[in-house]
Chain A
Amino acid sequence: MQKYTIRPGQQRVFRQRVTTLFLLIAMMLLMLLLRIAYLQIIKVGEYEARSEQNRVRLVPIMAYRGEIYDREFRQKLIANRKSLCVTIVPAAMPKEKAEWNRVVERIASVLEMTTNEIRKLMNKDKWDQYSPKLLKEGVDYRTITRIAENIDEFPGVYWDNRPIRVYTLTNTLAHILGYTGYISQEELKSASGKGYRPGALIGKTGIENVYDVDLRGEEGTLEREVNALNQVTYQMIRKQPVHGRPLVLTIDSSMQKVAQAAMGKMRGAVIVTKPATGEVLAILSNPGYAANLFYKRLDVEEYRRIESDPDKPLFNRVIQAQYPASSTFKLITTIAGLETGRLSARSSHFCDGGYMLGDRYFKCWFGRHGHQSLSDAIMNSCNVFFYRAGLDIGADTILQYARMFGFGKKTGIDLVGEVSGFVPTREWKRKTAGRPWLDGDTLNLAIGQGDLLVTPVQINMMTCAIFNEGIAYQPYLKKEIRSLYNNHAIERNEGRHVLFTTDVSKSTFAAVKAGMIRVVQGGTGSAAFSPVVQVAGKTGTAETSQDTTHAWFTGFAPADARNPEDVIAVTVVCENAGGGGAMAAPVAACIIRAHFENKTVEQTMQRIWKSFEQKRD
């Protein structure tokens, strides 16, 4: 059988070839070793990170937003309520189309939704497949249990607690408190660097928006380990959420309720501030809307209905509505006259029911007032007096004082969407109307009609400046932030941020105040009278393009206060309601008398009706 007598190992070629084979094999093993070293020693960092990325899913734990309280820290204006929601992470769903569809069908039937609705919600923010998409909020425990017990059938489906906001004074404070919603891509862009992430909740309007940073707290992090099938193998809290701290507003909730009750169904605005600090005690835009509707954050239909309501409930009239100031502006005309010497306490004009300028007849609002001193003219709101005075003073001076008292500029109240009103100028008139400023314009300006437009909060600031005799403090709503643990105030807003100061003498203010007191004591604002505190005020009845007029009242009480801290400044405007004295002054009376005398709205109103009846008799 043996062919070779010598061993193959004794042949040179054979030896060479076996050696070559061995070297080849050694080279192959060396290549493997180098490759392994490359992966395990050089690239270890990258692959470690990717292995963690595989294994760990970080899920945010929502923090409770800070609750919002009234100034006494007694009433919660916004409270939190636990609410379970079901979410889905598209990236964690089965890759296979048929299985994917089955999961969607199953979750739809459990949540009692259609598969189309589910798909639509999942397609929101399609660029982000890793953040949980909200499917349904306010899900009951039984539904969650059904999902949890069959979790293998719901890959990618999760649930968590997303507390909802409950509004206690829902209609009256809806504009002020605002509402929350999921962050939009634009908001995300503009708030970059402030710690917002896709899918986070953010205050959309009002206080919720302005103080979002204070309210939102810090999200926690849940670390979930998942296997290749995306099943959670274990989870732990890596970072506890820090809940938002309570925010105390300057709002006096009982006054707020009174304001709402007094306004009833009238469209309009009320703002009550403390002239001494700028605190806003009550702020109402009527009609409001049920803010609680917005915590069902998906109720688009309801939102549309509110949005298209002709009464514009979403519109915050206190800071967004621009009205003619009407007769309340006569106070500015008075100040301008007294300061420039065109008017004095002894000035007097005769009112025969109107004023003839060229071929136009400018009527007074009330028959004929006869001889009117300055004080009489304020009390009776005599137009003819102010026509004549206005022509004497001149439009430029009046406009100058209007600007001095903050008109045409935002007050900077801590709300979103404030408008600045409008103070016309001669150039503006020429540009827009194509004619120069005429004396007729001056007449209109002197009694607060025409082109000048103001917001209720601006009129309130003017009133504060008159009471403070030359200074107005910026209105604000944030009183303090309290600690979550012991309710101590940890950040306090003392107010007194100067909004504007005026260069007006004390004697001028004394004359104006005296006139305002007479307005309430026996003039157009008699309805605002209180037997206990001295009320000073001014009514206004704004001509509008419609037949009906807007009713104004602005004033303060007590006018004779020893301590200016006790004083409140009340501004009321009622749209298309009628005369200021008849419609707006009673609302102010309700607020003032409730505040100082503990009278209910009904009691105040009954008294006012009685006095109206007596007058008629």
Chain B
Amino acid sequence: MESAARKNRLHIDWMIIFATLALVVIGLLTIYSTGATHSGGTQVDREFYMQFVWFIVGVLLFFLTISVSYNKYVEWAVYLYAGGLVLLAVSLLFPPVKGIRAWINLGFFNIQPAELMKIFTIISLARFLNMLGDDIQDIRNFFITFFILVPPLGIIAIQPDFGTGLVFFAICFAMLFIAGAKIGHILSLFLLGFLGAGIPMFVAYYKEIGDLSGWLISILANNAVLIDISIIMGSIALLAFVVWFFSRIRPVLKFASAIVVIPLGLIIAASLNSYLQPYQRKRIVVFVDPEKDPWGAGYNIIQSKIAIGSGGFAGKGYMKGTQNALDYLPEKKTDFVYSTLGEEWGFVGSLFLIMLYFVFLYRGVMIAYHAKDMLGSLIASGIVAMFAFHIFINIGMATGMMPVTGLPLPFVSYGGSSLMTNLIAVGLLFNIEMRRYVH
């Protein structure tokens, strides 16, 4: 045990520590800057101190996390998962903040249980996938894995917090992929999502701008046509299944399973087509073209793009961003924190930020690669996927490449639950790295 303990200390990932600290410091500096006013004075906002306090608490949680082997957490997975669900459910009892019931108000501090639930879900998925082993290649097990997502997603859908919901899918896909699920299954699911969600978005956009004259859009907007196509393709798939059932020729089965996804996707698309509310359609329109509603839903995206773009190569200088100081930026401490950073530090600062994330994610992937067991690899890859998805969606949203979904930028955005959860996640990565030789 003595030598094991020494070994634990030997495997400290300095790179990931450096990247994490650098990102937290950047976050603190940017939050400080958002308190700048253009008349010269700077008020240090309460949020700056709070973020600092949470960072300290987060560091304690980090040490707490690494003090116990991750294998123990996997053993406790059921309790953690159940506890997280209870917290999520409790959050529904509190009054909504900006239309979302995602917070538990403790008076001095609001907890967002969905953040912690991401970690607990990763641990639970890791346990389940590790238990399955190679059986994950069975399509039934592939689907059963998604049932782990159903309870938290159900509550998150009630909240409702679309962006957080997507994170769970991203995590699940990444872990399935690492666990060795069949590529065909994953791609089919993507195709299903593409048809089922992509078509309604496409249709909603053109419906909202009131132009349904294109040939493709005229087909896709017509539910009757969609259902006709799915009936035809569904019959073909059914026929193929029957042929396979009697002949047992493998390629026929493959053809049948590949083709069955399309009618399923089209039926989902048709039902969504009629289900989408006008305000939801409007959001899609604004995502595609924010200038269509510059004072309403498009305002955030436009102002964020103006801030980032006007930063230019070298930026306007720390605390000198006009979009920031004159309050043109919405949510500039939380969801759009990158807009301030991009405005004040320019492309140089953005490049540095992306490099830090790259180092961080690279180390995360390496930890997954070198983990002593599949459990460690799965947890690490789930965490890496979570961070990567947050980064991609957040910066993509701030630069107008992704719809506005309200995901924080890891370590940088203001927010206690997010920062502390992220530090716990880093603790887990560290935990896996530290114990790669411990048996």
Contact partners of A7 in chain B: CB under 8 A: 370-373
Query: Most chain-A CB neighbours within 10 Å: which of B174, B180, B309, B312?
Result: B309
B261 interface residue per 8 A CB criterion: no
Contact partners of A17 in chain B: CB under 8 A: 177-178, 180
A25 interface residue per 8 A CB criterion: yes
Interface residues of B in 335-363 (CB under 8 A from A): 342, 346-347, 350-351, 354, 357-358, 361-362
Instruction: Determine whether the beta carbon of A54 is less than 8 Å from that of B328.
Output: yes
Smallest CB-CB separation from A1: which chain B residue? Answer: B71
Instruction: Determine whether the beta carbon of B312 is less than 8 Å from that of A48.
Output: yes
Contact partners of A490 in chain B: CB under 8 A: none
Determine, out of B85-93, B196-204, B392-400, the stretch whose residues face the partner at the interface.
Answer: B392-400
Instruction: Determine whether the beta carbon of B328 is less than 8 Å from that of A43.
Output: no
B133 interface residue per 8 A CB criterion: yes
Shortest CB distance A189–B (Å): 29
Instruction: Determine whether the beta carbon of B399 is less than 8 Å from that of A227.
Output: no
Contact partners of A18 in chain B: CB under 8 A: 178, 365, 368-369, 377, 381
Instruction: Determine whether the beta carbon of A21 is less than 8 Å from that of B177.
Output: yes
A2 interface residue per 8 A CB criterion: yes
Interface of A: prevailing SS = helix
- Cβ contact of A228, chosen from B328, B350, B368, B391, cutoff 8 A: B328
Shortest CB distance B212–A (Å): 30
Place the interface of chain B in its size category. Answer: 35 or more
Instruction: Determine whether the beta carbon of A40 is less than 8 Å from that of B309.
Output: yes
Instruction: Determine whether the beta carbon of B388 is less than 8 Å from that of A43.
Output: no
Instruction: Determine whether the beta carbon of B174 is less than 8 Å from that of A39.
Output: no
A9 interface residue per 8 A CB criterion: yes
Q: Known interface pairs A7-B371, A13-B180, A40-B346. Does A25 touch B388 (Cβ–Cβ under 8 Å)? A: yes
B130 interface residue per 8 A CB criterion: yes
Instruction: Determine whether the beta carbon of A14 is less than 8 Å from that of B354.
Output: no
B298-335 vs A, CB cutoff 8 Å, 1 = contact: the mask equals 00000101111111110000000011011110000000
A237 interface residue per 8 A CB criterion: no
A485 interface residue per 8 A CB criterion: no
A225 to B328, CA, bound (A): 12
Place the interface of chain A in its size category. Answer: 35 or more
B295 interface residue per 8 A CB criterion: yes
Instruction: Determine whether the beta carbon of A36 is less than 8 Å from that of B388.
Output: no
A22 interface residue per 8 A CB criterion: yes
Shortest CB distance A28–B (Å): 5
Q: Known interface pairs A8-B373, A226-B326. Does A39 touch B180 (Cβ–Cβ under 8 Å)? A: no
A432 interface residue per 8 A CB criterion: no
Instruction: Determine whether the beta carbon of A35 is less than 8 Å from that of B326.
Output: no
Contact partners of B377 in chain A: CB under 8 A: 8-9, 14, 18
- Cβ contact of B361, chosen from A25, A46, A226, cutoff 8 A: A25
Instruction: Determine whether the beta carbon of A50 is less than 8 Å from that of B350.
Output: no
A1 to B368, CA, bound (A): 19
Q: Known interface pairs A9-B370, A32-B391. Does A51 touch B312 (Cβ–Cβ under 8 Å)? A: no
Q: Known interface pairs A26-B358, A32-B354, A227-B38. Does A37 touch B347 (Cβ–Cβ under 8 Å)? A: yes
Contact partners of A31 in chain B: CB under 8 A: 392, 396, 401
Contact partners of A55 in chain B: CB under 8 A: 322-323, 326, 328
Q: How many A-B residue pairs have CB under 8 A?
A: 158
Q: Known interface pairs A50-B306, A54-B326. Does A21 touch B178 (Cβ–Cβ under 8 Å)? A: yes
Shortest CB distance A462–B (Å): 67
Instruction: Determine whether the beta carbon of A227 is less than 8 Å from that of B310.
Output: no
Query: Most chain-B CB neighbours within 10 Å: which of A18, A28, A40?
Result: A40
Instruction: Determine whether the beta carbon of B326 is less than 8 Å from that of A25.
Output: no
Instruction: Determine whether the beta carbon of B374 is less than 8 Å from that of A4.
Output: yes
Instruction: Determine whether the beta carbon of B178 is less than 8 Å from that of A51.
Output: no
Shortest CB distance B409–A (Å): 11
6 pairs across A/B with beta carbons < 8 Å?
A8-B377, A29-B354, A36-B308, A39-B399, A44-B312, A55-B328
10 pairs of A and B residues whose beta carbons are closest in the complex? A47-B309, A51-B310, A227-B326, A228-B327, A40-B347, A44-B312, A39-B309, A47-B310, A22-B365, A48-B310
A537 to B410, CA, bound (A): 100
Instruction: Determine whether the beta carbon of B311 is less than 8 Å from that of A3.
Output: no
A5-20 vs B, CB cutoff 8 Å, 1 = contact: the mask equals 0011100011101101
Contact partners of B328 in chain A: CB under 8 A: 54-55, 227-228
Q: Known interface pairs A1-B71, A2-B373. Does A40 touch B362 (Cβ–Cβ under 8 Å)? A: no
A148 interface residue per 8 A CB criterion: no
Instruction: Determine whether the beta carbon of A44 is less than 8 Å from that of B295.
Output: no
A433 interface residue per 8 A CB criterion: no
Query: Most chain-B CB neighbours within 10 Å: which of A25, A28, A50, A234?
Result: A25
B3 interface residue per 8 A CB criterion: no
- Cβ contact of B308, chosen from A26, A29, A40, A227, cutoff 8 A: A40
A43 to B310, CA, bound (A): 8
Contact partners of B71 in chain A: CB under 8 A: 1
Shortest CB distance B149–A (Å): 19
Q: Known interface pairs A18-B381, A40-B312, A48-B312. Does A95 touch B295 (Cβ–Cβ under 8 Å)? A: yes
Instruction: Determine whether the beta carbon of A40 is less than 8 Å from that of B354.
Output: no
Q: Known interface pairs A47-B309, A229-B327. Does A21 touch B133 (Cβ–Cβ under 8 Å)? A: no
A55 to B303, CA, bound (A): 12
Shortest CB distance B70–A (Å): 12
Shortest CB distance B255–A (Å): 25
Instruction: Determine whether the beta carbon of A36 is less than 8 Å from that of B371.
Output: no
A233 interface residue per 8 A CB criterion: yes
Interface residues of B in 215-268 (CB under 8 A from A): none
Instruction: Determine whether the beta carbon of B180 is less than 8 Å from that of A51.
Output: no
Contact partners of B102 in chain A: CB under 8 A: none
Contact partners of B392 in chain A: CB under 8 A: 28-29, 31-32
A33 interface residue per 8 A CB criterion: yes
A364 to B102, CA, bound (A): 109
Instruction: Determine whether the beta carbon of B39 is less than 8 Å from that of A41.
Output: no
A254 to B353, CA, bound (A): 81
B384 interface residue per 8 A CB criterion: yes
A481 to B342, CA, bound (A): 56
B46 interface residue per 8 A CB criterion: no
Instruction: Determine whether the beta carbon of A225 is less than 8 Å from that of B342.
Output: no
Contact partners of A43 in chain B: CB under 8 A: 309
Contact partners of A33 in chain B: CB under 8 A: 350-351, 354
A46 to B310, CA, bound (A): 8
Contact partners of A36 in chain B: CB under 8 A: 308, 342, 347, 350-351, 354, 395, 399
A355 to B374, CA, bound (A): 136
Instruction: Determine whether the beta carbon of B371 is less than 8 Å from that of A9.
Output: yes
Interface residues of A in 215-266 (CB under 8 A from B): 225-229, 233-234
A586-606 vs B, CB cutoff 8 Å, 1 = contact: the mask equals 000000000000000000000
A15 to B307, CA, bound (A): 41
B439 interface residue per 8 A CB criterion: yes
- Cβ contact of B373, chosen from A4, A20, A95, cutoff 8 A: A4
Shortest CB distance A23–B (Å): 10
Contact partners of A228 in chain B: CB under 8 A: 326-328
Instruction: Determine whether the beta carbon of A233 is less than 8 Å from that of B38.
Output: yes
Shortest CB distance A454–B (Å): 63
Instruction: Determine whether the beta carbon of A51 is less than 8 Å from that of B323.
Output: yes
Contact partners of A37 in chain B: CB under 8 A: 347
- Cβ contact of B439, chosen from A2, A46, A229, cutoff 8 A: A2
Contact partners of B327 in chain A: CB under 8 A: 227-229
Shortest CB distance A547–B (Å): 70
Shortest CB distance B376–A (Å): 8
Shortest CB distance B366–A (Å): 9
A4 to B129, CA, bound (A): 13
Interface residues of A in 386-406 (CB under 8 A from B): none
B380-417 vs A, CB cutoff 8 Å, 1 = contact: the mask equals 01001100100110011001010000000000000000
A14 to B308, CA, bound (A): 39
A25 to B364, CA, bound (A): 11
Shortest CB distance B424–A (Å): 21
A40 to B398, CA, bound (A): 13
A312 to B401, CA, bound (A): 69
Query: Most chain-B CB neighbours within 10 Å: which of A7, A33, A36, A226?
Result: A36
- Cβ contact of A54, chosen from B323, B371, B384, cutoff 8 A: B323
A35-79 vs B, CB cutoff 8 Å, 1 = contact: the mask equals 111011101101110110011000000000000000000000000
